Structure 1
């Protein structure tokens, strides 16, 4: 039952304006201020459309307009300045590497971070193939079902995982709580392999392979490639995992360098 509830497919009658507004809210929350032009470019819409969306977010306190005329996260969704700046820095550094990964493999690429017991997509680059996995930026899925989420969970301590999956934290959604023993066994395999696979567990018809990204001394993020399951073949796994490892290494290198500059060391 928990697996069925986790499946997340695009609604048949998706409301594009709602989707755009929600994506903007997430961008403001995790990346920081946006101008109208920035918002229009990211969504692929006209400036007038972006302005209307941002105005509605301001009206509902999801955004606020600063003296610089840019839009900032409003009181409903504001993160601490440190959390926002670090997430924004990670995304900025990772995006060129995600584009390169898409170029290498021809499949969509993503960057995820852990948010409690969920994995949040903070960056996404779509493949150019006609049949492809779409942009996942801003979406969240149960961490124990996603390839990237499993990599980050595997790096937590036993006590940290026990706290995340304690029965009392899952009141009201106990039927979605994973079998902790089975999860621990699965995470043992993930640690041994150094990568994780999610085949049809969060979205039917979608397979993802992930690799962890070290942020400081922890696996604080993950990079993944997502593809239609019909195109997933285990014969590709070595190439996919190798490309992911190179991408994770390059992101870690650039992030370490940026943090050293930020700290003045």
Structure 2
């Protein structure tokens, strides 16, 4: 039953308006009666909120629980002042992501009116091979992990995306040797990402910090040292607590 309830919750996507219990059940592969019963229970528990027209959304109780997770209390809250400082120094999108399976899960971001639009959002996932933070995370994996990773097909997000193992391994080695990763127009045309991994912190997943800017103003020589220093500062702040 717990798995079915979780299936209902995961049936929501970032593009959804409120959904009917019937639509939720259809997405989760549940019978109509089962979906209605579970929706009622989740509403009672605060995991779903019911609107006056009978549709439902993810509930405030679910958000409240999520804010108790270590990624919120330990990582995001202590990293945000450093992200803000990096944003003030660059004026560009600043992202913090963690390794989640074979994806980069975005847990914090700071952006502004002059920052270039990106496809990232807090709580969203993007591929490791086409994002700066993802490539920085790949550089921290050992050979056993990478061997399994390269068995998985990788999609080409743009014409510039690296998907084959050999060029990706070359980029991983380049990242390791210089201490930061870059991607150029591999996730979104016109965008460049410069990222660095955070030091490993006990009790938290591997994490990386990145700046995304327009290719026309991507001053790697200026931005990369700022990113590397900020990643180290966040790691020290996390370790201190």
TM-score range, shorter chain: 0.5 to 0.7
Unmatched 5+ stretches in structure 1: 1-14, 22-52, 74-80, 259-265
Q: Give a deviation string over 1:45-74, Cα, whole Å, max 9, x none.
A: xxxxxxxx96259x76854738xxx7435x
Matched, 1:222 2:208: yes
1:215 partner SS: coil
Deviation at 1:182, TM superposition (A): 2.4
Aligned length: 192
- List alignment gaps of at least 5 residues for structure 2: 1-12, 20-46
Is 1:55 aligned to residue 49 of structure 2? yes
RMSD: 3.5
Counterpart position of 1:132: 116
What TM-score does the superposition give when structure 1 sets the normalisation length? Answer: 0.62
Partner of 2:195: 210
Greater helix share, structure number: 1
Q: Does 1:243 align with 2:239?
A: no
Q: Deviations over 1:72-99 (max 9, x none)?
A: 35xxxxxxx8xx3245411111111111
The worse-fitting range, judged by mean Cα deviation, of 98-107 and 131-140 is 131-140
Q: Which structure: larger Rg?
A: 2
Paired residue secondary structure (1:114): strand
Q: What is aligned with 1:38?
A: none
Distance 1:54 1:95, change over 3 A: farther
Matched, 1:186 2:171: yes
Q: 1:144 aligns with which of 104, 129, 146?
A: 129
Report the Cα distance in structure 2 between the residues aligned to 1:19 and 1:125, rounded to whole angstroms: 25
Distance in structure 2 (CA, Å) of the matches to 1:250 and 1:145:
25
Task: Give the equivalent residue in structure 1 for 2:65.
Answer: 72
Aligned to 1:45: none
Name the counterpart of 2:29: none
